[in-house]
């Protein structure tokens, strides 16, 4: 059996963490949905930067847009291209959305990363983008920053589907889950709202391993924690998810037909070549979760991934003990995860600005009828 479909049998949806126009033109996304059981698509500013600035896939559309208005603002150019991609992905996934009654089949579109610390700006932008895409199966991505959390509550209350991103710690998760529940309590029809809480995985190991390696020569215990903390961190979050959404506090909302806010494992491509390329897939399998995979990880898991039941529930005591040992070594995970969130906001903003800069160059070349160097 296809290992990707085995994940679905365990109650986990696989989404594709990638977007590019050729994905639709070639029919590849449709094939992934039909043959591999892909249930959704996620995007972010870095993915769009690589797709639009790093290819010629969009040049024909750019020429058409510029022929109509050579002075079109580069932000408008970006939005036109990105919204078309989101719409095409949503149309391919609409069958999944309909078949699952709105449980799956979503494509995610992020608000400008420059609004990460602007609550009202995020709310306004999210509603504008949702209206511009005009598809029921779009999720607007909002970061789990202190300013993003109240925006999440408001957007859920207004009935928007929201994918909360850049979550790295239990405190991030708790704040987001509570905002979702508060928003549902104010929503006219909460049964029609869907949300995922995107919890980042591999980046935690990257930062923690770096800290552990400074201790490893003197403390053998530090070596035993290398490559362990990200999974342990995620397992504890899943345990918290079960407590919140399968506890008494969610019963009244569940009776109104509301959905749980599924944990979504993000950043699940293995960054350390010393680790298995499917490490963060095999060890985080669980019901009512999503794992969004970059193409390389998706292909690797399809080729040699192993599904051994709901692994996210396994060895919870060991996970807690690993986090305890990390603390005992003097490494503050909360400090690391706060920095990861801050760095994530900065990285997305940088990618967004680089994308706009690349579009500006392409526009100038097209207006001047200069040949564009193919990437």
Model confidence pLDDT, tens digit, residues 53-95: 888 899 999 999 999 988 889 999 999 999 999 999 999 999 9
pLDDT at 335: 98
**Two structure tokens written together for 315:** 């060895």
Domain assignment of residue 374, yes or no:
no
Domain assignment of residue 123, yes or no:
yes
- Please tell me the distance from the alpha carbon of residue 145 to that of residue 129, in angstroms, as a whole number: 20
Strands 262-266 and 289-293: parallel
Phi, psi angle pair for 49, to nearest 5°? -60, -45
pLDDT at 375: 46
Phi, psi angle pair for 256, to nearest 5°? -90, 5
Domain assignment of residue 243, yes or no:
yes
Q: Tokens 């449709």 appear where?
A: 30
Domain assignment of residue 372, yes or no:
no
Asked whether the beta carbons of 148 and 197 are under 8 A apart, the reply is no
Domain assignment of residue 375, yes or no:
no
Which of 49, 41, 33 lies closest to 16 in space, CA to CA? 41
- Residue length, the chain? 375
pLDDT at 292: 97
Which of 125, 25, 83, 73 lies closest to 359 in space, CA to CA? 73
pLDDT at 54: 84
Domain assignment of residue 152, yes or no:
yes
Q: What pLDDT, in 10s, does the model give residues 26-47? A: 999 999 999 999 999 999 989 9
Strands (DSSP E) contained in the chain are 12-17, 40-42, 106-110, 138-143, 162-167, 195-200, 262-266, 289-293
Q: Tokens 């991103």 appear where?
A: 165
- Please tell me the distance from the alpha carbon of residue 264 to that of residue 277, in angstroms, as a whole number: 19
- Give me the half-sphere count of Cα atoms (radius 13 Å) on the Cβ side of residue 151: 27
pLDDT at 227: 96
Catalytic amino acids? Answer: 141
- Please tell me the distance from the alpha carbon of residue 109 to that of residue 142, in angstroms, as a whole number: 9
| Distance from the first to the final alpha carbon of the chain | 38
- Check which CATH number belongs to the domain holding 348 and give it: 3.20.20.70
- Please tell me the distance from the alpha carbon of residue 340 to that of residue 346, in angstroms, as a whole number: 10
Which of 294, 328, 333 lies closest to 205 in space, CA to CA? 333
Number of structural domains found in the chain: 1
pTM: 0.94
Query: Between the CA of residue 32 and those of 92, 298, 302, what are the distances in Å?
Result: 10, 10, 11
- Please tell me the distance from the alpha carbon of residue 281 to that of residue 160, in angstroms, as a whole number: 29
pLDDT at 366: 87
Asked whether the beta carbons of 174 and 249 are under 8 A apart, the reply is no
- Find residue 142's DSSP bridge partners: 164
Can you give the residue range of the structural domain that contains 108? Answer: 3-367
Asked whether the beta carbons of 337 and 168 are under 8 A apart, the reply is yes
Which of 173, 129, 110, 138 lies closest to 40 in space, CA to CA? 138
Domain assignment of residue 33, yes or no:
yes
pLDDT at 216: 61
Which of 111, 105, 144, 130 lies closest to 45 in space, CA to CA? 111
Low-confidence ranges of the chain (pLDDT < 70): 216-218, 220, 369-375
Domain assignment of residue 338, yes or no:
yes
Asked whether the beta carbons of 356 and 74 are under 8 A apart, the reply is yes
């Amino acid at each position: 059996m296809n290992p990707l479909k085995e994940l679905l049998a365990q109650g986990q949806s696989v989404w594709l963490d990638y977007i590019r126009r050729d994905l639709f033109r070639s029919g590849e996304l449709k094939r992934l949905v039909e043959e591999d059981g892909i249930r959704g698509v996620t995007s972010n500013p870095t993915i769009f930067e690589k797709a639009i600035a790093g290819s010629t896939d969009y040049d024909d559309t750019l020429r058409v847009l510029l022929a109509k208005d050579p002075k079109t603002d580069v932000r408008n150019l970006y939005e036109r291209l990105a919204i078309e991609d989101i719409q095409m992905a949503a149309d391919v996934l609409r069958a999944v959305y309909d078949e699952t009654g709105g449980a799956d089949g979503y494509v995610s579109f992020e608000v400008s990363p420059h609004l990460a610390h602007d609550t009202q700006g995020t709310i306004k932008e999210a509603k504008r983008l949702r209206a511009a895409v005009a598809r029921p199966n779009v999720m607007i991505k909002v970061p789990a920053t202190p300013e993003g959390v109240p925006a999440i509550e408001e957007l859920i209350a207004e009935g928007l589907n929201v994918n909360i991103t850049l979550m790295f710690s239990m405190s991030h998760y708790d704040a987001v889950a509570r905002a979702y529940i508060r928003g549902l309590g104010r929503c006219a029809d909460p049964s029609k709202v869907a949300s995922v809480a995107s919890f980042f995985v591999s980046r935690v190991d990257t930062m923690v391993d770096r800290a552990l390696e400074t201790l490893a020569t003197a403390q053998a215990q530090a070596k035993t924690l290398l490559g362990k903390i990200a999974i342990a961190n995620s397992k504890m979050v899943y345990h918290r998810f079960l407590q919140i959404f399968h506890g008494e506090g969610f019963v009244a909302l569940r009776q109104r037909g509301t959905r749980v806010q599924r944990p979504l494992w993000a950043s699940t491509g293995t960054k350390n070549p010393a680790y298995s390329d499917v490490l963060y897939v095999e060890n985080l399998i669980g019901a009512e979760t999503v794992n969004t995979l970059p193409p390389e990880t998706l292909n690797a898991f399809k080729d040699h991934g192993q599904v051994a039941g709901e692994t996210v529930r396994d060895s919870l005591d060991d996970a807690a003990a690993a986090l305890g040992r990390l603390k005992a070594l003097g490494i503050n995970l909360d400090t690391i995860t706060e920095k990861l969130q801050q760095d994530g906001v900065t990285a997305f903003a940088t990618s967004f600005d680089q994308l706009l800069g690349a579009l500006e160059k392409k526009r100038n070349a097209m207006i001047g009828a200069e040949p564009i160097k193919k990437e």
